[in-house]
Amino acid sequence: MLRCVYTDLDGTLLGRGASLFRDADGLFTLLPARALEACFRANVEVVLKSGRRKAQVMEDARLIGQTAYIFEMGCGLVIDGEETMLTGDLKPTDGRTVHDLIEESGAPKLLLDTYPGRLEYHDPWHLNREISHLMRGLVDAFEADELLEEHGLGNLRLVDNGAIAPKGSLPDLEGPPHVYHLIPRQASKADAVARHMRARGYSPDECIAVGDSREDLGVAAVVGRFFLVANAVEKDPDVLRGAPANVEVAEGRNGEGFYEAVVKVLAER
């Protein structure tokens, strides 16, 4: 049976304006809430996995009545009030946060200086973060990782967390901007999901995941089935390149795609 659904927030469970009750076009919808209700009735846990700060994800988890969540791209995991940091060798020390340590390494400045006009801080959401450095723009994350490695910063990586809406800055990008997280290399949504599964005693075939980005797609390696919402492919046609066989693309966008994935799996089982 299905025991757990892992879902991203922005661009997946949430619609326009980061609302649970708006679809991708901003129209009112109850489908995401109905999918959450279906999970509740079937005794299926729902775990949020997001790049947002802990305080934000905690509030969203509370609002949907769940006690476990993953924050800052898998850098942190909370289960029933117990927090686990998943940042590898980078730990808060001497009053400095992991965010401070990444800043002191020079990695953010290196990336911003290397990609002028193509990468910037994701203002104002980059503020008050404890772990990741949040940026926006359009760069090759694999190329950025090679750059970090060349400068002795291989303990960090730049994570592509999917396309976002453009705004006035960075006007010369050749495509839709993406949001990026500079995080410790050991951290990932997939690792956090796997740790939650072990803590709960879930097997892969009892779990599914839903998302809209390349980083979300990495979770496919640890769950039975993975669903990309339709807007993921619309914004990034190459997102499916090299995807494993257990990945499916929903017909619906954002929360409608989440509803589709949940109801489909519940009905089949």
Do residues 175 and 102 both lie within one domain?
yes
- Residue 78 falls inside a structural domain: yes
Question: What per-residue confidence (pLDDT) applies to 89?
Answer: 92
Do residues 106 and 180 both lie within one domain?
yes
Q: Is there a contact between 187 and 75 (Cβ–Cβ < 8 Å)?
A: yes
Q: Which of 108, 100, 164, 115 is nearest to 134 (CA)?
A: 108
Do residues 109 and 165 both lie within one domain?
yes
Q: Is 151 exposed, middle or buried (0-12, 13-18, 19+ CB in 10 A)?
A: middle
Q: Is there a contact between 250 and 257 (Cβ–Cβ < 8 Å)?
A: yes
Strand order in the sheet with 4-7: 82-85, 76-79, 68-71, 45-49, 4-7, 207-211, 225-228, 247-249
The residue from 120, 150, 184 where one domain ends is: 184
**Is 22 in a helix, a strand, or coil?**
strand
Do residues 114 and 191 both lie within one domain?
no
Do residues 131 and 260 both lie within one domain?
no
Question: What per-residue confidence (pLDDT) applies to 236?
Answer: 87
Question: What per-residue confidence (pLDDT) applies to 263?
Answer: 98
Question: In this structure, what CATH number is given to the domain that contains residue 210?
Answer: 3.40.50.1000
- Residue 92 falls inside a structural domain: no
Print the domain residue range for 164.
Answer: 98-184
Q: Which of 220, 228, 184 is nearest to 204 (CA)?
A: 220
- Residue 169 falls inside a structural domain: yes
Do residues 194 and 214 both lie within one domain?
yes
In Å, how far are 257, 260, 267 from 35, measured between CA atoms?
10, 8, 12
Do residues 143 and 72 both lie within one domain?
no
- Residue 14 falls inside a structural domain: yes
- Residue 227 falls inside a structural domain: yes
Do residues 198 and 72 both lie within one domain?
yes
Name 136's bridge partners.
120, 179
Do residues 178 and 191 both lie within one domain?
no
Do residues 166 and 179 both lie within one domain?
yes
pLDDT in tens, the chain (269 residues): 999 999 999 999 999 999 999 999 999 999 999 999 999 999 999 999 999 999 999 999 999 999 999 999 999 999 999 999 999 999 999 999 999 999 999 999 999 999 999 999 999 999 999 999 999 999 999 999 999 999 999 999 999 988 888 988 999 999 889 999 999 999 999 999 999 999 999 999 999 999 999 999 999 999 999 999 999 999 888 899 889 999 999 999 999 999 999 999 999 98
- Residue 240 falls inside a structural domain: yes
The residue from 134, 162, 184 where one domain ends is: 184
- Residue 105 falls inside a structural domain: yes
- Residue 91 falls inside a structural domain: no
Do residues 213 and 252 both lie within one domain?
yes
Residue ranges of alpha helices (H) inside the chain are 31-41, 54-63, 98-105, 107-114, 141-150, 189-200, 214-217, 230-235, 254-268
CA separation for the pair 102, 221 (Å, rounded): 28
DSSP string, 125-185: TTTT-SSPEEEEE---HHHHHHHHHHTT-TTEEEEEEEE----SSSTT-SS--EEEEEEET
Do residues 162 and 192 both lie within one domain?
no
Question: What per-residue confidence (pLDDT) applies to 165?
Answer: 87
Q: Are strands 4-7 and 45-49 parallel, antiparallel or unpaired?
A: parallel
How many structural domains does the chain have?
A: 2
The residue from 163, 184, 205 where one domain ends is: 184
pTM for this model (two decimals)? 0.95
Q: Are strands 82-85 and 119-121 parallel, antiparallel or unpaired?
A: unpaired
